Structure 1
Amino acid sequence: MADPATSGRYPLAEPGLWVERVGSRVFSAGTPALFLDRDGTINLDTGYPDDPGEIVLREDIAAVIAAANRAGIPVVIVTNQSGIARGYYGWADFAAVNGRVLELLGAENAFVDMVLACAYHEAGSGRLAMSDDPMRKPNPGMLLEAAKHLGLDLQRSLIVGDKPADMEAGQRAGLSQGWLVDGQAAVQPDFTVRSWRDHGDFDGLLAAIAALGAVSGEP
Structure 2
Amino acid sequence: MNNAIFMDRDGTINVDKSYVHNINNFFFIENVIDAMIILKKMNFFLIIVTNQSGIARGLFTKNDFLLLTKWMIFYLKLYHVHIDAIYFCPHHSKGIVKKFKQTCLCRKPNPGMLLDAKQRFNINMTNSYMVGDTENDMLAGQSAGIGTNVLVCSGKETKKRPEKSIATWIIESLAFLPNIIRIHKNIKII
Q: If the TM-score is normalised by the length of the shorter chain, which range does it land in?
A: 0.7 to 0.9
- 2:106 counterpart residue number: 135
Contact (CA 8 Å) 1:67, 1:210: kept in 2 or not?
no
Letter in 2 for 1:206: N
| Residue identity (%) | 29
Q: Which amino acid aligns with 1:48?
A: Y
Question: Residue 128 and residue 209 in structure 1: after superposition, are their counterparts in 2 closer, same or farther (change >3 A)?
Answer: farther
Contact 2:35 2:176 in 1 (8 A): no
C-alpha distance in structure 2 between counterparts of 1:99 and 1:212, whole Å: 33
1:193 to 168, 172, 186: 168
Match of 2:12? 41
Q: Which stretch shows the higher mean deviation, 48-57 or 68-77?
A: 48-57
CA distance in 2, matches of 1:112, 1:212: 23
- The question of whether the paired residues in 2 share the 8 Å contact of 1:71 and 1:210 is answered with no
**For the residues of structure 1 that align with 2:77 and 2:163, how far apart are their CA atoms?**
30
Query: Residue 65 of structure 1 corresponds to which residue in structure 2?
Result: 36
Distance in 1 of aligned mates of 2:5 and 2:13: 13
143-152 vs 108-117, greater mean Cα deviation: 108-117
| Partner Cα separation in structure 1 for residue 60 and residue 35 of structure 2 | 29
Q: CA deviation at 1:107?
A: 2.9
1:208 equivalent in alignment to 2:185? no
- Cα distance in 1 for partners of 2:132, 2:42 equals 20
Q: Distance in 2 between matches of 1:79 and 1:95?
A: 12
Q: Does the C-alpha gap of structure 1 residues 98 and 210 become closer, same or farther in structure 2, counting only changes over 3 Å?
A: farther
CA distance in structure 2 between the partners assigned to 1:80 and 1:152 by the alignment: 21
Q: Please show how residues 1-219 of structure 1 align to structure 2 within 5 Å.
A: 30-124=1-95, 125-131=97-103, 133-182=104-153, 183-184=161-162, 192-197=167-172, 203=176, 205-208=178-181, 214=187, 219=190
Q: Indicate if the aligned counterparts of 1:44 and 1:57 stay in contact, CA closer than 8 A.
A: yes
Taking only aligned residues, the RMSD between alpha carbons, in angstroms, comes to 2.6
How has the CA–CA distance of structure 1 residues 97 and 187 changed in structure 2, closer, same or farther, with 3 Å as cutoff?
closer
The range that moved more, 68-77 or 100-109, is 100-109
Structure 1: which amino acid aligns with 2:16?
A: D
Rounded Cα–Cα distance in structure 1 between residues aligned with 2:73 and 2:163: 29
Cα distance change of structure 1 residues 71 and 186 upon mapping to structure 2, 3 Å threshold: farther
Tell me, in whole angstroms, the C-alpha distance in 2 between the residues paired with 1:169 and 1:141: 8
Please state how far the C-alpha of 1:159 moved relative to its aligned partner: 1.1
TM-score (norm 1): 0.74
Task: Give the Cα–Cα distance (whole angstroms) in 1 for the partners of residues 187 and 74 of structure 2.
Answer: 28
Between the aligned partners of 1:53 and 1:187, the Cα distance in structure 2 is 33
Offset of residue 162 of structure 1:
0.8
Matches of 1:80 and 1:204, distance apart in 2: 22
Gaps (5+ residues) in structure 2?
Answer: 154-160
Displacement of 1:185 in angstroms is 7.6
